[in-house]
A = this chain, B = another copy of it.
Amino acid sequence: MFGLIGKMRAVPGQRDALIAILLESTTQMPGCLSYIVAKDEADVDAIWVTEVWDSEDSHRASLSLPQVQAAIARARPMITGFDSHIRTAPVGGVGLGG
């Protein structure tokens, strides 16, 4: 499996709108076993996205999906930066049904 743990920063005041775009566009992605969007509790502009894919190829392919391409275009102006981008190799756990 292939995993990502990422922290992005929203334009102040736009975190909720950015989260909505992320959630709308990330269903029905082939090979996606887990994709969780969360607010950082301490930092009001920060969003954490933790992902697990059956393979890195599936993740790469998802970036070409029409709904993901559209979401990236809509979200880009709302993002001021990416603080963390951690690559992982998930081994197992709860909630990997996709």
Contacts and interface: CB of A to CB of B under 8 A. Distances in A.
B92 A95 contact: no
A81 interface: no
A88 interface: yes
Interface size class of A (residues with CB under 8 A): 35 or more
Chain A interface helix/strand/loop/mixed: strand
Contacts of A73: none
A94 B5 CA distance: 14
Interface in A41-98: 41-42, 48, 50, 52, 86-98
A2 to B, nearest CB: 9
**What 5 pairs between A and B have smallest CB-CB spacing?**
A34-B95, A38-B88, A38-B90, A36-B93, A35-B94
